[in-house]
Structure 1
Amino acid sequence: MDQFHIFIMQILFLSGITLGSKSFSLNDKDKWAISVARYVIYVLTIQGTKWACTVLYDMYLKRGDLDLKFLKKVNRHQVMLYLGFIGFLVLNEQTVIDGDFSQMLIASLIVKYPVIETKSKTSVNYGVGMACSFFEGYLTHVLPSDGARFVGFEENIRRFESKQGVVFPVKKLFVIVTKSLFSPPDLKQFNKTNREEASSIEACRSLDAIEKDVAGVRNRIYKNTAYKIYRAPRRPVCVAAECATLLHTLYRVTKNRDLYEVLADVNVDDIVSDFTNTLRKIIANSPECRGKCEIIYFDDTDPQLNFADVLLDRIREIEPNFEKIIETAQASG
């Protein structure tokens, strides 16, 4: 049952209560209209204070400035109602906020408190749910050894090093989370083609394929791609990297908001933040996956940022001596 049908049922319920109680009289229609107008203003004011507090709290958590994107969430019809009823009361020389507003606000907060308690225990937002799904549905299949058919991500890297005569200074899977949610089929699309001096990234080949029986699918194949970061005149740096495919799926959904109405008003920034923070916590708490994966946030909307440099900065942070590791491997090879 959609919201419109529920709304009609509420109107019918209201009509029955009004007629049954005989509380409406044509002789008191002006007084009745003024009361309704004032209560509409009360309800919208309470909704507005909640909305304003949410925006301010979000600014506090992100330590950022006011993001004007929140204006897109404002319901213009409710704003018109609010201003219209205020004008109606003013024209009729009536007070806009009466003494019973504080009582209505208190009653509203009392009613909302149990709902807040329930939601805090049961509600899961999109970002958190997607992080859990990505971890259980993908990372648990490509990172730890299953003790049988798959040797584990780190050993898979070592085998690749041995076969190809290269070295990975950091033997972790780098999962890229972009601000826009966009995930290119090849990470080289993030390269700055207009800056010849900039570091760049190129795909090499895939690591050994991982074959597992999953959810009724026999011999399902998982692959991770090895990339090289080129930064003349120094030697290339090998890294295993890929984007979070679930976020790319959401990116496609956001481009078809008319088809997916339930997600029409989602806040992409919040989803990215929740996904990233939750996934990092899950990995840190998992004995099997801890230390085997790095979540890299990349603001692909910033034209000044170079993706290859972002990866190099994280590699340098994890392994400060990565240059020496590469030089030693090349000398011994």
Structure 2
Amino acid sequence: MTDKTVYIYASQCIFVCAITYGYQGIHLENAHKWIAIVARYVVYMLIIKGSREACALGYSILQAQETLNIEDIIKHSKKYGFIFIASVVILLYNKQRILDEDFLLWFIAYLVTKYPEVESNLVNINYGVGMACSYFEGYLVHVIPSDGAKFVGFEENMDKYAAKQGIIFPVKRLFIIITKSMYCPPDLKHFNKANREDLPYLEACQVSDESLEEIEKDIAGVKNRTYRNSAYKIYRPGKPPVYLSAECATPLHTLHRVLQKTALYEDLAKVNVPEVVSDFCRTLGAVISKSPECRDKCELVYYDDMDPKANLASILLDKIRDLEPNFDNLKKE
């Protein structure tokens, strides 16, 4: 618990104690009756809470493609389970019904009080959608299309780099890596599998040639702001390397850093990471597909960096193969 949570909980406990002290209808001889009533209401609240958590989990599995983790579910619900079982035992011991006629009224009252929160969430844009729009307008529109003046555009920038280095980019798109955890390393080689020489692996191009030509623009009062895209190569066992331009989605990386410091950013402590990633992917993909200047020039790549069997270099190769099946036979122009 955070200090704020402890303070609020303690204040409510004091408030309840004050009401109990001042309420004349509570007598010690009726203690078993009051305990049974409280136990029934605890059961009501936990059933309602459990139904909400179950629906949230179902949404995450169906919409956010989150896998069902039984161990995490047990760990999260263990204390609630003990409280629920203890309350049921108290009711059975006192020969009371577990669910009474007023349970339905409790549920309806809960839904009524929850509605303003739901309505607020419908009005407010969520994190994933907002970050996707910001990433597109604040970054992609500056590095993908030509500005008709200084910058020639991403595709021609790739052509210039390829001609200078004597290489081939089989797919002239910016590969945007979106990780499940939102973590983004400073170099994509950190996603390579250690001691697995049988697998393809990523490596940035030479230090002096690792970036495409820099882009300079005057943005929001910043003079000569610099943008650059990195060139990587995928090494394959017994085959020539495959070249591409790739990078991680920096807004997700920023949020990942924020979530490591919830003591500073308390309001974001309960962010649903799978939902944010799903909304970011869906929104960014939709915006790019609607933009004539960026369509077919960016490729979103979802990478489950929490799966020890997943290999980013292999996933990127599969993407390249889908977009250009004959990439191994392409010749330098």
- Which TM-score bucket, shorter chain as reference? 0.7 to 0.9
Distance of 2:258 and 2:222 partners within structure 1: 26
Which of 300, 308, 313 is the equivalent residue of 2:313? 308
Q: 1:206 aligns to what SS in structure 2? A: coil
CA contact 1:73–1:265 (8 Å) conserved in 2:
no
2:111 corresponds in structure 1 to: 109
TM-score computed with the length of structure 2 as normaliser: 0.82
Q: Residue type of the partner of 1:106?
A: I
Asked if residue 296 in structure 1 is aligned to residue 301 in structure 2, the reply is yes
Which of 257, 280, 295 is the equivalent residue of 1:252? 257
1:210 corresponds in structure 2 to: 215
Distance of 2:83 and 2:192 partners within structure 1: 50
Aligned in 2, Cα 1:281/1:98: closer, same or farther, shift over 3 Å? same
Q: 2:96 aligns to what SS in structure 1? A: coil
CA contact 1:24–1:32 (8 Å) conserved in 2:
no
2:52 corresponds in structure 1 to: 50
Distance of 1:93 and 1:131 partners within structure 2: 56
TM-score computed with the length of structure 1 as normaliser: 0.82
Distance of 1:283 and 1:197 partners within structure 2: 35
2:152 corresponds in structure 1 to: 151
Q: Residue type of the partner of 2:310?
A: L
Q: What runs of 5+ residues in structure 2 fail to find an aligned partner? A: none
Aligned in 2, Cα 1:213/1:14: closer, same or farther, shift over 3 Å? farther
Distance of 2:219 and 2:13 partners within structure 1: 47
CA contact 2:184–2:250 (8 Å) conserved in 1:
yes
Distance of 1:98 and 1:323 partners within structure 2: 70
Distance of 1:25 and 1:236 partners within structure 2: 80
CA contact 1:177–1:244 (8 Å) conserved in 2:
yes
1:238 CA drift (Å): 1.6
1:12 CA drift (Å): 5.1
1:74 corresponds in structure 2 to: 77
Distance of 1:67 and 1:243 partners within structure 2: 26
1:294 CA drift (Å): 0.5
Aligned length: 324
Which of 321, 325, 330 is the equivalent residue of 1:320? 325
Which of 225, 235, 250 is the equivalent residue of 1:220? 225
Aligned in 2, Cα 1:304/1:95: closer, same or farther, shift over 3 Å? closer
CA contact 1:179–1:298 (8 Å) conserved in 2:
yes
Q: What are the Cα deviations for residues 189-236 of structure 1, in whole angstroms up to 9, with x where unaligned?
A: 333342334323222221111112223322111111111223254332
Distance of 1:251 and 1:64 partners within structure 2: 17
Aligned in 2, Cα 1:88/1:303: closer, same or farther, shift over 3 Å? closer
More divergent stretch after superposition (306-315 vs 6-15): 6-15
Aligned in 2, Cα 1:189/1:23: closer, same or farther, shift over 3 Å? same
1:61 CA drift (Å): 4.0
Distance of 2:168 and 2:221 partners within structure 1: 37
Matches within 5 A, 1:238-277: 238-277=243-282
Q: Residue type of the partner of 2:125?
A: V
1:280 CA drift (Å): 1.2
Matches within 5 A, 1:163-174: 163-174=164-175
More divergent stretch after superposition (5-14 vs 194-203): 5-14
- Identity, % of aligned positions: 49
Q: What runs of 5+ residues in structure 1 fail to find an aligned partner? A: none
Give RMSD over aligned pairs: 3.3
1:242 CA drift (Å): 0.9
Asked if residue 100 in structure 1 is aligned to residue 105 in structure 2, the reply is no
Matches within 5 A, 1:182-221: 182-204=183-205, 205-221=210-226
1:266 CA drift (Å): 3.7
1:278 corresponds in structure 2 to: 283
Aligned in 2, Cα 1:232/1:281: closer, same or farther, shift over 3 Å? same
Distance of 1:240 and 1:255 partners within structure 2: 29
